[in-house]
Each structure stands twice: as structure tokens, then as C-alpha cells.
Amino acid sequence: MIVWITGASSGIGEACALEYAKKGASLILTSRSDNKLAEVSRRCLEKGAGQVSILPYDLENPDGIENLSEKAWNTFGKIDVLFCNAGVSQRTTVEETSMETVRKLMEINYFAPVAMTKAILPRMVAAGGGRIAVTSSIAGLFGFPLRCAYSSSKHAVYGFYETLRAEYYDKGIRVTIVCPGRVRTDISINSIGKNGEKYGKMDPGQAGGISPEKAARKIVKAISRGRREVLVGGKELVMVYIKRFFPGLCARIGRSIKPV
């Protein structure tokens, strides 16, 4: 099994790489940091990965994604699982969020995975099928304070990949949309704050979230089973069902939630 994971140098991406490594998969790992990728690669090989190749890349740059995808496919001659996991968040109100930040989050969270998917999809179809997973969020299912750009990018992700699933199911493509709630990663620390600077703080809710390893076990199982959607987190996931069945109540709760 050949698996390409973006955002693989930390958090959910790293944990999923290690989980796949334990299953003997060969891995292609992408993130901005080649040093961190090298360390994750070493650990994956120790866990039992067949082979590991690292392809460092900044997904904010759209111009090289086609070439990046071609390199990834040619690394082992195919890709069985494409997991578009890389992403960035924010911690600003609508008024505080610059259009530069909105565009940055859309570029990384939405346009990059879409471009990668469009590059890999025809190759997968020609090979007889494959699995494509993408990280959205529970914030991609309902809006949340201080997440206007993040939530909108994740809503867009959900719409694109639902459509992909509908169009290509009969061609052997299985699509899994991953919707994390609170997972104990550095996403809040690395979020964009006021004036575009790094937020630099761990949200209390994030700190109390489930471990990336627990999330990874659930995600990898869901992808292997071809599940349409996987919710990952703790008690906060109840909001998904409140939104589905009691949208007015969800709106009231959302207004009252402390956003960090």
C-alpha cells in the first residue's frame, strides 16, 4: 500500500503516518519542514514502513503542486491512498481577519488539496481506483467564533469532496472526509492571530482534546473501510448532531461558547 500524506511533520498527519507504518505501508510525506519530515521518516521506518520518501513543499504556493503531485505518483509508481491533511487555522474576529489571511487559509486549506486531488485523480482512475481522504473539521459543518476564514475553507472542502465522491464512486474512488473536533495538536499555536502574527497559544479546549494517536487509529480505520465521513474528538462532537437536528439550538450554543 502506497500512502501520500500532507501535513505529515506533526499532529494528525504525523500520527497517521506512524499508524500506516505499523501496517507496513510505503509512505510519501509532505510538509514545509524537511528536518521534521526526516525525523518522522526515521520513526516510520522503525515502526515497520516499507519505504519512506519525503517531499517537502509549502502548499501556499500553487504553482508547483502539479509537479509535486507528479513526483509523488512517480516515487513508487502509484498512490493507493491520498490523504490531504495539511491546514492552518486562525484566531480572529471577522473585522480583525484581513483578506490576506482569508486568501492564505483558502489557498492552503482548500485550493491546495483540490489541486492535488485533480492531479492524482485521473491517475487513480486509470489504475482502477483508490482512496482519497481530506481533513475538514467540525468547523466545516457549522460556524464557530474566531474561525471565519478557517470555517469557510473547511465548508468548501466538504462540498468539493462530497461532489467528488458522488461523481467517481462508480470508477472505484472512495472518499473519506475527516472532521476533527478537539485533538491535542499545535493547530491553535500555529494559528494566525491579529495583524497576521502567529497566535502562539494552546487553546484550553485543544489541550484537553484526544491524542493525535487516538485520532489516527480512528482515521486510518475509516479510510481503509471507505467510510464517507469520520468524526474525531470527544464530547464536543455532540454539536454536530445538535446542528443536524436542532439548528436553532446549535446557533444559541455557538453564541455562548467561549471560542478559545
Give me the pLDDT at residue 203, please: 84
Residues catalogued as catalytic: 150
Give me the pLDDT at residue 22, please: 98
The H or E element spanning position 232 is strand 229-232
* Mean pLDDT by groups of 10 residues along the chain of 260 residues: 97 98 98 95 97 97 97 98 97 95 97 98 98 96 92 97 98 98 91 88 86 97 97 93 87 73
Q: How far from 165 is each of 221, 224, 253, 256, CA to CA, in Å?
A: 18, 15, 32, 35
For the sheet with 173-180, list strands across it: 52-54, 26-30, 2-6, 81-84, 130-135, 173-180, 229-232
